[in-house]
Amino acid sequence: MTIDFKKEVEARKEDLLADLFTLLRIKSEREDDKATKEAPFGPGPVEALEKMLEIAERDGFKTKNVDNYAGHFDYGDGEETLGIFGHLDVVPAGDGWDSDPYEPEIRNGKLYARGSSDDKGPSVAAYYAVKIIKELGLPISKKIRFVFGTDEESGWGDMDYYFEHEEKPDFGFSPDAYFPIINGEKGNVTMIPHFDGTNGTSYVLVSFEAGLRENMVPGNAVAEVKVADAETAEKVAADFKNYVENNPVSGKAEVAGTTVTLHLDGKAAHGASPQLGTNAGTFLAVFLNNYDFDKGARAFIENSAAYIHEDVYGKKLGVEFDNEKMGELTMNAGIFSFKAGQENDNRITLNFRYPKGTTAEEIKAKLEELFGSEVKVTQGGHHMLPHYVPADDPLVATLLDTFEEHTGIKGEEKVIGGGTFGRLLERGVAYGAQFPGFEDTMHQANEYMSVEDILNSAVIYADAIYRLVK
């Protein structure tokens, strides 16, 4: 049987975009200060999950909401289950947008909104692929279970809870990365150096804040500095103006008596590809390192400038590592937080994506040796080990063949630093929805995905899913 999946997707284009727009208008950022038992990650992720399950119920699927942590719908029966894993949460919108990040707009064929490419656009494309298989009544011999998460961008608490209550599918994919395929993912661990909030007298670091999430390159940084006199404050402001003019950043200084507030703007990017961003936190630390800070403030600034600035491969930190199959270790300094007088929570979050051959324990030991006994290093919450599914696995082979036939582009395996829900399964991969040559705007201002790519990915998903379960 030959099915024209392209024709079937085109026939549903307006409905697909309408459902996607509905989801994109939901501000599904994690908000811990608004979390409750009924909304474990805040109200936005729950609203998005309920809306997605409502759409699936509308289309005749049997759905299940697992206590607002995650949900799924099933289609078909069989001894094996194909799992598809999307997520409905998004990273904070941040600044620098040309339009409202939660009012989707199509401009020049590109759909702009937070979540358009990560991961609501691809998830809806994959959803419509299953919807087409159902509506055409195509014969299948396996169950399809489509799972929607609500905490992928933070700690994966959604999937931890979900799999305490639900069985894992036998094999599957996540529509949350790139074509042709991602069949390998580096390990993912966060290390946190802690500094005390002490200061000297000539220069006092009142506060230093940069970053929104550990998996985002900080696009903005702000520091408040108190100096000895107004003349010195003006000198610091003038130095800062010269600094931003001679570096790939922008910013401004505000002087109020003996206090200078420094605002620096870099470029946000996905923490899995920190080399694509300009880390506002480290650039601000490099500037402040020119002044005579002391004690905890000095340690915070010096370490940021000396060992973290422009060191996305961990060479200055002494943790660099390269694996022939999985590539190099990368490091993203995602959050900087310092408040004068605060004892225990002045910190820098260092998010490492590491290949097989090194370990989180080795990384932590090297950081402790480098920073010394006065800086405590702790390991962050969710730790993911390196993951790899061989290229000759039937799942990988089928997905690559489908991609090649629809695009004419050679399908080759790839390993990334990003962590996707594909790694939830032993035989799990990430598959699409970004095509070769795309501009990566995930986690950045003006995130977008072209409408054509959304529709083309739905075509490939429909064909690939059908091949896997027919």
Task: Write the CB contacts of 328 (distance below 8 Å, at least 6 apart in sequence).
Answer: 313, 320, 321, 322, 355
C-alpha pair distances (Å), 244 with each of 241, 247, 280, 444? 6, 5, 11, 21
| DSSP E strands, 280-379 | 322-323, 327-328, 330-339, 346-354, 376-379
Report pLDDT for 75.
98
- Confirm if 335 and 212 have CB atoms less than 8 A apart: yes
Handedness of CA 268, 272, 274, 279 (dihedral sign): positive
Please say whether the structural domain 5-185+386-469 has been given the CATH code 3.40.630.10.
Answer: yes
Residue 230 to residue 139: CA distance in whole angstroms: 78
Report pLDDT for 1.
65
Domain boundaries, the chain: 5-185+386-469, 188-379
In tens digits, the chain (470 residues) has pLDDT values of 689 999 999 999 999 999 999 999 999 999 999 999 999 999 999 999 999 999 999 999 999 999 999 999 999 999 999 999 999 999 999 999 999 999 999 999 999 999 999 999 999 999 999 999 999 999 999 999 999 999 999 889 999 999 999 999 999 999 999 999 999 999 999 999 999 999 999 999 999 999 998 989 999 999 999 999 999 999 999 999 999 999 999 999 999 999 999 999 999 998 989 999 999 999 999 999 999 999 999 999 999 999 999 999 999 999 999 998 889 999 999 999 999 998 878 999 999 999 999 999 999 999 999 999 989 999 997 798 999 999 999 999 999 999 999 999 999 999 888 789 999 999 999 999 999 999 999 989 999 999 999 999 999 999 999 999 99
Active-site residue set: 89, 152
For the entire predicted model, the pTM comes to 0.77
Quick count: other Cβ atoms within 10 Å of Cβ 37?
A: 7
User: DSSP letter at 95?
Assistant: S
Residue 366 to residue 33: CA distance in whole angstroms: 34
Instruction: Please give the CATH architecture assigned to the domain spanning 188-379.
Output: 2-Layer Sandwich (3.30)
Report pLDDT for 382.
79
